[in-house]
Structures are given as structure tokens and as C-alpha cells.
Structure 1
Amino acid sequence: MFLPVNMKDMKKRGWDQPDFVLVTGDAYVDHHSFGTAIISRLLERFGYKVAILAQPDFRSCEDFKRFGRPRLGFLINSGVVDSMVNNFSVFHHRRRVDEYSPGGVAGRRPDRAVIVYSNRAREAYKDVPVIIGGLEASLRRLGHYDYWEDKVRRSILMDSRADLLIYGMGEKAIINVAEALDSGIAPGDITWIPGTCYHTSDFVDDGETVVLPAFEEIAESKKAYGESFVMQYRENDYINGRRLAESYGGNSYVVQNPPQQPLDRQELDDVYELPFENEVHPMYKEDIPAFREVKFSIVSNRGCFGDCSFCALTYHQGRQVRSRSKESIVREATALTKKPDFKGYIHDVGGPTANFRHPACDRQLKYGVCKDKDCLYPKPCRNMNIDHKDYLEVLRAVRQLPGVKKVFIRSGIRYDYLMADKNRDFLWELCKYHVSGTLKVAPEHISPRVLSYMGKPRREVFTDFVEEYNKMNRKLGKKQYLIPYLISSHPGSTLDDAIDLALFLKDYGFIPDQVQDFYPTPGTLATAMYYTETDPRTGEHIYVAKKMEDKRMQRALIHYNKEENRKWVVKALEKAGRPDLIGVLLGGSRGAGHEHSKESYKGNRGGKDTGRQYKGRGAKADRGHRGW
């Protein structure tokens, strides 16, 4: 049974009043890929009455009175995706489609949804606690650069006037908060719960708290902003992370408690086996496009130790990977096979990175993640546990279930982690059983300079993987391809780097259909680079393409084969002083131009020429990160 969405549903359950009203910018889908479903079902498991207010009319507070006064509070999120990313393209164009709304119709959620919803809830019931969470709140928990206004904004806790902010994956924190409210503790006195932020005028420095540069300072000084971001980034682990405090006006502070401990395997199993309907609420007459992508997919893990600069996962989910048990995943897969519209295909068994199933190393479990060292960049750490056996056992168990024809891996793999595994059993089974014609991988770029700012492996790791992948497919007698995801205009990427990438693609005979222009979103190292035009870890100045013209040129170079990009490619090559390459990229032949392109970048190129059978089809990259 779905949770109540109106007063009639409440009466059917015999409720006079909900404990919580959970407000979300998404349509109501009771599936564990939607944070609203997880949080609401978890609270239900602990005995709380939760009503769902999905995509309310935000033009007044009337819709927020739909269930009457909640006993304990409003819980507010913007939805699975940040509302500004959901509503606007990187070029500031308003999107015409909302994948999380009925029929994909845009306009059902406001810009800065958490702030709008929180203020409407306050209008409806002034003294009811307001708790905010989800990706939008999590990544804006402290002072942050806002791409859409091109300035540093205050903590969303301040602008929303909420009582409490839950950041990261909020299962443990929300139960702690609910129990505190239920016991009669005032929201302003709930200051001890890990994974939360609160606002106070009574902050006392205990000597252990990391006091960040004041908001006024980071709003004026890019140097101070970069320093603050690095300080936050270093304290983002539940074992070695410390409390943070950011002042506003000298006598007002936003305090961030250390992160919550990640769920262990049994806890993850329990969460993903809550009594979800695993369907869209029947009140909708049209389908929810985003649900089609996940309906027959299974979440295997959380967290990511890949630590890419442009990704907010490490800031939201953390670098310590946790995974569900094989038994739990098999139970979910078995339930999927019994659905009337199941066609025999499991679309994904994965997560942020599909082939991560355990913490990067044993040291993380005792000391926490390293504050000044990445697990995979510039090369895999010697302490890393590189092992695909557990994941292989999961995949084997799922694909052997009666009724299952094929199990795909669509959430992407880290090919550098795969290449570091001397055992090739995973690659063999991947190619034989789990590729749907194409495999998604993310080299993102090929310039050594850009890759260093991205935190991605060297180009040679990618080309070696291409060779191994093609060799394995030839051995299996299969014609299977790769879908490489690429990012244009990433901080540090110059026009010369973009040309280098175009020549690389020309030589390898691959032109992607879709490329993602770098999108500065709160909570990422790359966004701090974009705003400050430095690497905040070192203070080194870096080039950033900020003008729309420069961004269009870099993007057009990757799509050099498209007629509509021709003028931009010519303009880019002339601006870079490389008119000699116009015929190479736009000539349409691979003869002399092919040799020219190889010669043009061979100084940066390593490894053998293994790209002759490297083919691909473009696909839209899903950069969204799920969580409450």
C-alpha cells in the first residue's frame, strides 16, 4: 500500500494526523532509487506516520495544509536531482523536460525547491519543525558557489529558515532526529546528531572544531573560498572527520557535525528490502520517464573511492564503499521476475560505480579515508584491495535465476580498477554475459593536464583497456562496442587540449553523439576550480573556459563532424593558431589527414595504436546522484 497522498488516504488508515509530511519535488514513486521512498518507508518501519506531498503547488501555502498540522515536522527535499540542474542546462536554458515528473512535463518544481518549499511550510504552520535533506540541501550545507547567480551563496540552512539539515545518505540521521523530536526535544536543541547541520548563535569553540573562514570572507575572496572548500573536503569521513563551523556576521554560525557512519551490509539489506510498492503512484495518468530507467535495476552498492573532481558523490555519499549481500540482491531480482511486465532483462546491478563492492582498503575501516591521497589517482594505491570475486558471484547468481535472460551493467565500471586486477575473469564474464552491445566507460578526456585536474587515469590506461576489451570480444566472437563519456570545458582544459581530444577521436574513428559540457554544481572540487580559477589544493592558477563562446568551441571540436559545428571548429582552430588542421578535422577523409592527426598529438600519446576496432555510439550521460 502506498503511503497517504491526501486526507482520504489518511482516513483509510485511521489517522487523524501525520507525524511527518514529506515534501518532494519529484512525482511519488515508491521505489528505492528515490530517496523519498527510502526515508518514508524507513520512518514507517520505526512506527512513524508519514504522508507524501509530491510536487505541491508552490505558489501559495495552501497545498502544505493538505494533511493538516504534522505532529513532528515537515521533511523537505528537492527530489533526486538538484532543482537548478533539473531546471536549467549548463548554457542557462530552461529545460523542456523533467524526467521525474508525470509525462516528463517541466515546471512542476520551483527553482531552488528546498528554499521555496521550506518557506511555504513555515507560512502554513509557523511553529512546526522543518528538516531539509537530499542532494540539494546536502551539497549546499555551507557557503557555496552558485553557478546560476555566479556568486557565493549562504548555507541553504539560512535561506530556507529550516531548523535542521541532514546531509549525505540520511537513514541513520533521520531516525535519530525523529526520536529526538518525538521525545519532546526542541529542534534548536538537537545539536549532537552526526550527519546534520544546525544554526546557532551560541557557538563555543571547543578546540576540536575546525572553524572555517567566515561567510563574508569567502564571499569576497576566492582564495579564502578555495581554502574553506579544502578544509571541508578533508573532514568528510565519519572516522577522522571533525566538526565544522562557519560564521555569519560574527555571532551566528552554521555548524556541521561529523558525517554519519555508512550503513553496514545488514543495514543496507534491511533498507533496500523495505516494503516498497516498486511502482509509480496510481494517481498519475502518465508514466515517469526516470522510473523506466530504474524499474528493473538493482542497487548493489553505495559510495565511491574513485574521487573524480567533477563528481559530488564523495561529498554526498562518501568515499567508503558499502554493498548489499548477494542474498538480498537475489531476493530483489527474484521479485522482479514475478512482475507482469518483466521481459527477462535486469537492466543494471550496480551503483555509483558498478564494480566497487567493498572499501578500497582495510586501513579505511580503522583510520578512515586518507585526507591527502586518492585511492586510484594517479595510479591505484598499493594498499588497495583489488578483487572482483564478490561482484562476480552476485552477477552469476542473478543471471542464473529462472526467467532471467540477460543481466546488464549500465551504471558504469571503473576501467582503471579493472585493469589493475591481474585476474581477467571479470572482463571475460563482463564481455560474455553483461554487455548490451555497448559498454559505458568514462575516460572523460585524454589530455594529461586535464586528466590530472579531473583525477582520472592516464590516457594509456584507457587505450590499454580498449585493446583488452576488443581482444576479449574477438576471443568470444562478439561484436561489442564502447560508449566513452567525455566532458568538454572542464577546468584546466584549454583550446589546445580540446583540439588534442578531437584529433585523438579522429584517429580512433570515434565521434560521440553526446558530450557533457562541464556543469559547475556545489560540492565538487572542479566547481571550486571553476570559480577560483585555481587548484585550491595547491593555489596553482589554471585556465577555465567561462565565456559561452569558448565553451561552444571546445564542445564543437568534439563534435567536429556535425555540420552545425563547422563554423565553431574553424573559429577554434584559427584562434588556436592551427588553421592547418581545418582540413584534417573537416576534410572527411582519413588518408593524409589521418596521419597528420596522429602526428599532431603523438608527443602526448603513449602505448600502442590499439584503436582500429574502437567503435561506439553516443549516449546521454546520467550524472545525477541519488540520495535523500
Structure 2
Amino acid sequence: MTSKPKQNDFLPISKSDMRKRGIEQLDFICVTGDSYVDHPTFGTAIISRVIEAEGFSVGILAQPGFRNANDMQKLGRPKYAFMVSSGNIDSMVAHYTVAKRKRSDDAYTAGGKAGRRPDRALTVYCKLIREAYPDIPIIIGGLEASLRRFAHYDYWDDAVHPSILCSTTADLLVYGMGEKQTIEIVHRLASGESVDTMTDIRGTCYLTDPVNTPFTSAQCPDFDAVCRDKKLYAKAAKIQMAEQDEVRGKTIIQRHGKKMLVQNPPMTALNGEELDRIYELPYMRTYHPSYESEGGVPAIKEVEFSITHNRGCFGACNFCSIAFHQGRKVTCRTHESVVREAQEMTKNPHFKGYISDVGGPTANFRQPSCAMQKEHGLCKEKKCLAPRPCKNLLADHSDYVSLLRKLREIKGIKKVFIRSGIRYDYMLSDPDDTFFKELVRYHVSGQLRVAPEHCSANVLDKMGKPHIEAYHIFLKKYREETAKIGKEQYLVPYLMSSHPGSTLNDAIELALFLKEAGIHPDQVQDFYPTPGTVSTCMYHTGIDPISGESVFVPKTPEEKAMQRALLQYYKPENREIVRKALILANRRDLIGNRPGCLIPDLPVRSANKRMDTAQNKRRTSWQNERRTKNTKRTKR
């Protein structure tokens, strides 16, 4: 990446902005489904600044109108290409709850207003670009593109969809963290090369005629096959997950009708110095001032004064998309770069002295999980931490501890918090508990959130999570360390209902666990089957793609409502549905006023009381009617 002097300004969003910069025609235009936020936690901000750092002019089309192609012409035709993303999250997840109800707000939109991006935004945007400029190269990327790169199950349509390359008609799909791919693409386009010949770039996918299919590829069952046969869908998912490794991953192919989808092996991860350069580009670190009248963009509040220090996650939970998107290999920024970013924060007039997070996908990962990855890659079909830590795991927090100490010493910083995910099982594997002690003493803001997700071993195995015994050990130690420093700090567990593998009995087991632990979760997350995860494959097929075993899947609204209500059994409004669930599971022993019961035996009495009241009202009404009739007869 070439270096370039910092410009203290946002990138152009209008023709007038282009004129101020002396730009007649932009080299590249980045389209995003989010409002324009120039902060390194926003993918569009990173990619646009990377392109700029390579010496090209780039403009931003944020949340363009989607009723016609007019907004796609707002900045004119770019010299080389459109780079298109639906935003930081999948547009369907942004729009719909797990119950498929429309959301009323959107944190990635100015004013938090919903409805400013279309459903399936990537497809809609690309079609409008094709309408405006039929022959312009289109490169798609971001989470929506990355997770939909193969034939995939679409929860909202309850159907298997083809690769998103088919619906968008884009020329190239960039999957994963796309900085290296973007740099190679923009320079090759600028050199005059046709986008059609860019079939050799790692971390990209393209469609081609079957005759051009690369040799020595891993072939997935084709689109038509995975649509009609769930076993073949699971087989395809297993292949796709197995080859997502930059060292040993093969090219993957999957036929889509008359075209062949080709996924090149993953791009090599950025090293520490490369990550430093990415995160030290001249971001404005806030939303565009044009949104000020709407109150800004809500999503910035949590991240404005946060620092990303790592990428990748070898935890690889089955319901999480990070392993399929960022990869399992962990890479980190240098201490010097992170410290410089923190020092820059202290110069911001809005900074109050509190760094909200020093994290990433998993905050306490600062090194690869084992020494063999560099030569052999990460193990195929195995996890580093679940169901128990691998014997080759290198659990060491010393580098992270050193980094956090340096941040705490910076003048103007009062507190450094850690709010992104922490793997407590990894912490327990470290023979040195220095990080544990310093985490509790310095880096918890009253509550520490961790993610046991469930307590049933059967469900946790399907999630790819450690068994609940690790949580019990962590909880005990956390309480001990908190007591030593005389602080009142709590552990808040993330919990998930209705994950594949979770039966009604498993949900009851979790409810009993919560009761015994005295935990009353305010919010419970239903499993959300988003594209590109192992758990979503289980949800659609009823098959664990890695083991090939059958998996029970709670699917009906009533079944899912029961499991969710059981996690909040203590709420009076949930008693009726909890009672129904307990009777259905033949667990009437948990209904009553005895110790250990989940709900009191009140619903029946309440129901009888309501019935008696209704009967009394009808009886009284009938009696009054008879009296009225008798009175009239007497008068006559």
C-alpha cells in the first residue's frame, strides 16, 4: 500500500464535493446500504480509504434511492468500477427480526430510521447500476456478499437461493476482509486489464463457462442438487467450511445451471504491519455532518471510541459467521499502532477519557491457537476450544496484558474497558491468571458479558461451544476476584434459545440452570438462521454437516415460543405458555409452590377465576333481564 498525506475531510458524496477536490471524474464509487460513517468499524470506510491510499479518487453513494437508477448517476460514471456493499450487516437481518417481523429502527441509518435501504440491497443496487451503466465493472463485497457466495439457504424465503453473483450479475465477488483483494483489483483495472480476466485473485469468486473450470478443485454438489436434496446440501456445506483456510484451502466449484461458480482459495491474512496501515488511514471517525440534523447515526455511539486490535477467531462457534467470513486465523496490530490510535482519541473534544473497547471478534485472542498453523493451516473439521481445549492450544495473555497496561498509562485516558466477546474457556486454559486479575480490576464496567449460550451438553456440542462446567469454574473465580478488590461487578450471560439440537427438555434444563443460578435474563436471543453458518445448515437440513448425524430442529412458532418463554419462566406473562411446555414435556413436577418448581400453580386458579367471573357476569345479566321483564309485566 502506498502512503499518502492525511486529508482532514470526508470523501466526496456529491458533485460539489468533487469540484472542491478538483475531481472531474471519480476513479471508483463505493455504494453502501448504511449511512456514511467514516470509522474503521465500518467496512465501506475501510475499503474506500484503502482505495484512496493507493492513489485513486473515490466517492461514496450511501443509501442511494432504490426506486429508480437516478441516484446511481449522482456522482457520474466512475472511470473504473463500482464497489458495492449492502452495509455492515445483511440487509435482511437489518430489516427483520428472527420472527420475520419488520424492525422499526435501523442503527446504521441516520436518525435510526428503518426503510432507507431495500431488502436484498446488494441485488437491488447492482441491478440499478446495470440499468444506469450496462457495461461498467461491478465488484461486490461485505457480509451480505461473503456469506451468500455459494448456493445458500435463505431463511426469509425458506428456500435455497443460488450464489448472489447470479442475482446481482456482478463481475467479481470479494469474500472475507477484502483489503488485499481490493488493492489488486483496482491496480489491475487501472492498468487496462479487463475484469473478465481477473480469475486468479485469492479471496474472490466469479462465474464462468464450465469449460473454463480450474483443475484440482473441490467440487460441491450443484445448485439444482442442493435445492432438492438436503443431504447434498449438507455435503456442500461441509466442503465449503473445510476449505476456508489460507494454507491448505483448495479452489471450490459449484455448478449453477449453465455457469460454474468458482471460489478461489482464501486471501492470506494481513500481518501486523499491514493491519497497522489499514487502521491508521485518515478516518474522520464519525458520521458525515449531513446527518447532524437527524441526530446522527446511532451505530457510532458504541464504537466511536473503541479500538480494534485483532482479526479472525479460532473459536469458530457454529452459529457465528466470523470463521466463514474473516477466517479462523488470528492476526493482530502492533502495540505501537494501537497506542497511537488511543493517543489520537485523547485529542478529540468529545472524548471523555473512556475507551469503550479494545477488542475484535474475540477480545482476548492475540496469537494463533497453536504453533503448527503457519505451515499446516488450521485443522480440518476440528475446533481449537470445543468441546474441550485442544492439547496443542497455546493459551497466553501476556501480550494482551502488556498492551492494556500501555493504554492505561496514556495521559488523558481514565478507563479502558473490554466489551467485545471474551472466551472464558481460553482464559481458564492460561496457567498465568494475571489477565484474569487485571480484567476484573481494571477493565469491567460493572458488568462483564460472556456467552455460555446454553447448559445442555447436547446443545453446546451442536453450537460448537465448551460444556457448561467451564462456565461454572469461570463464574466461581470471577466472583472470588471481584470480592478481593471489593467491587460490585456482575457476570451477564448471553443465552440462545431454539438452536438446532435443542429439545423442549433441553430448554427446561436451561430454565432450571437459570433458576438455580439466580439468573433472570432480560433478553433472550432466538437462534437466527443467517446464511453461511454450520448451524443454519443444521436448521435447514436437520443434519450436522460435519458429523453427518441427524439433528432435532425446533421450527414451529409455538415450539420456539415455548423454548424462549422457558428462559424467562419467572415473568408472569409467560406462565401460561411455560405451563403448556411443561405439561407437553411431562414435567408437571415443575408446576406448583414446592421448592424447585419453575412456576406456581396459579394459572389454573386464575383461569378458573376468570371463568367464574364471566359466568357470574352472564348470570347477573340474565337475572337483570328477568327483573326488567317482570317489572314491565307488573306495569301492564
Q: Per-residue CA shift, 1:147-177, capped at 9, x if unaligned?
A: 0000100000010011110000000001111
Q: Which runs of 4+ in 1 moved over 3 A?
A: 202-207
Aligned to 2:171: 163
Write out aligned runs for 1:8-407 (5 A): 8-249=16-257, 251-284=258-291, 285=293, 286-407=295-416
Report the alpha carbon displacement of residue 381 of structure 1 after superposing the two structures with TM: 1.2
Report the alpha carbon displacement of residue 465 of structure 1 after superposing the two structures with TM: 0.5
Report the alpha carbon displacement of residue 378 of structure 1 after superposing the two structures with TM: 1.6
TM-score by length of 1: 0.93
Tell me, in whole angstroms, the C-alpha distance in 2 between the residues paired with 1:237 and 1:448.
28
Tell me, in whole angstroms, the C-alpha distance in 2 between the residues paired with 1:420 and 1:171.
33
Tell me, in whole angstroms, the C-alpha distance in 2 between the residues paired with 1:468 and 1:538.
34
Tell me, in whole angstroms, the C-alpha distance in 2 between the residues paired with 1:333 and 1:508.
38
Aligned to 1:602: none
Report the alpha carbon displacement of residue 337 of structure 1 after superposing the two structures with TM: 1.1
Structure 1 residues 203, 312: CA separation in 2 closer, same or farther (over 3 Å shift)? farther
Tell me, in whole angstroms, the C-alpha distance in 2 between the residues paired with 1:207 and 1:196.
17
Report the alpha carbon displacement of residue 203 of structure 1 after superposing the two structures with TM: 3.9
Tell me, in whole angstroms, the C-alpha distance in 1 between the residues paired with 2:163 and 2:359.
32
Amino acid at match of 2:269: P
Tell me, in whole angstroms, the C-alpha distance in 2 between the residues paired with 1:65 and 1:540.
52
Report the alpha carbon displacement of residue 564 of structure 1 after superposing the two structures with TM: 1.9
Tell me, in whole angstroms, the C-alpha distance in 2 between the residues paired with 1:360 and 1:544.
32
Tell me, in whole angstroms, the C-alpha distance in 1 between the residues paired with 2:17 and 2:383.
50
Aligned to 2:15: 7
- On the 8 A contact 2:447/2:492 being kept in 1, the answer is yes
- On the 8 A contact 2:213/2:260 being kept in 1, the answer is no
Report the alpha carbon displacement of residue 186 of structure 1 after superposing the two structures with TM: 1.5
Tell me, in whole angstroms, the C-alpha distance in 2 between the residues paired with 1:31 and 1:206.
38
> Which of the numbers 553, 562, 568 marks the counterpart of 2:571?
562
- Can you give the 5+ residue segments of structure 2 that lack an aligned partner in the other structure? 1-8, 599-636
Amino acid at match of 1:68: G
Q: Per-residue CA shift, 1:414-444, capped at 9, x if unaligned?
A: 0000011111111100000000011010000
Aligned to 1:467: 476
Deviates more, 1:198-207 or 1:268-277: 198-207
Report the alpha carbon displacement of residue 206 of structure 1 after superposing the two structures with TM: 4.6
Tell me, in whole angstroms, the C-alpha distance in 2 between the residues paired with 1:5 and 1:151.
37
Tell me, in whole angstroms, the C-alpha distance in 1 between the residues paired with 2:587 and 2:62.
53
Aligned to 1:618: none
Tell me, in whole angstroms, the C-alpha distance in 2 between the residues paired with 1:537 and 1:455.
11
Could you say what secondary structure the match of 1:288 adopts?
coil
Report the alpha carbon displacement of residue 287 of structure 1 after superposing the two structures with TM: 1.4
Identity of aligned residues (%): 54
Could you say what secondary structure the match of 1:121 adopts?
helix
Aligned to 2:608: none
Report the alpha carbon displacement of residue 369 of structure 1 after superposing the two structures with TM: 0.8
Structure 1 residues 565, 486: CA separation in 2 closer, same or farther (over 3 Å shift)? same
Q: Per-residue CA shift, 1:45-77, capped at 9, x if unaligned?
A: 001111000001111000000011111111100
Q: Per-residue CA shift, 1:431-482, capped at 9, x if unaligned?
A: 0000001101000000010011011111111001100100111111111101
Tell me, in whole angstroms, the C-alpha distance in 2 between the residues paired with 1:119 and 1:238.
32
Report the alpha carbon displacement of residue 372 of structure 1 after superposing the two structures with TM: 2.4
Tell me, in whole angstroms, the C-alpha distance in 1 between the residues paired with 2:146 and 2:213.
24
Tell me, in whole angstroms, the C-alpha distance in 1 between the residues paired with 2:451 and 2:21.
48
Aligned to 2:420: 411
Could you say what secondary structure the match of 2:83 adopts?
strand
Could you say what secondary structure the match of 1:534 adopts?
coil
Q: Which has the higher contact order (CA 8 A, sep 6+)?
A: 1
Q: Please identify the structure whose Cα radius of gyration is greater.
A: 2
> Which of the numbers 540, 547, 553 marks the counterpart of 1:538?
547
Q: Per-residue CA shift, 1:369-426, capped at 9, x if unaligned?
A: 1112211112111111110001001111111111111111000210000011111111
- On the 8 A contact 2:175/2:205 being kept in 1, the answer is yes
Q: Per-residue CA shift, 1:284-310, capped at 9, x if unaligned?
A: 122111100000100010000001010
- Can you give the 5+ residue segments of structure 1 that lack an aligned partner in the other structure? 598-628
Does structure 1 residue 513 correspond to structure 2 residue 522? yes
Tell me, in whole angstroms, the C-alpha distance in 2 between the residues paired with 1:21 and 1:15.
13
Tell me, in whole angstroms, the C-alpha distance in 1 between the residues paired with 2:454 and 2:429.
20
Tell me, in whole angstroms, the C-alpha distance in 2 between the residues paired with 1:448 and 1:11.
62
Tell me, in whole angstroms, the C-alpha distance in 2 between the residues paired with 1:102 and 1:323.
32
Report the alpha carbon displacement of residue 207 of structure 1 after superposing the two structures with TM: 3.9
How many equivalent residue pairs?
588
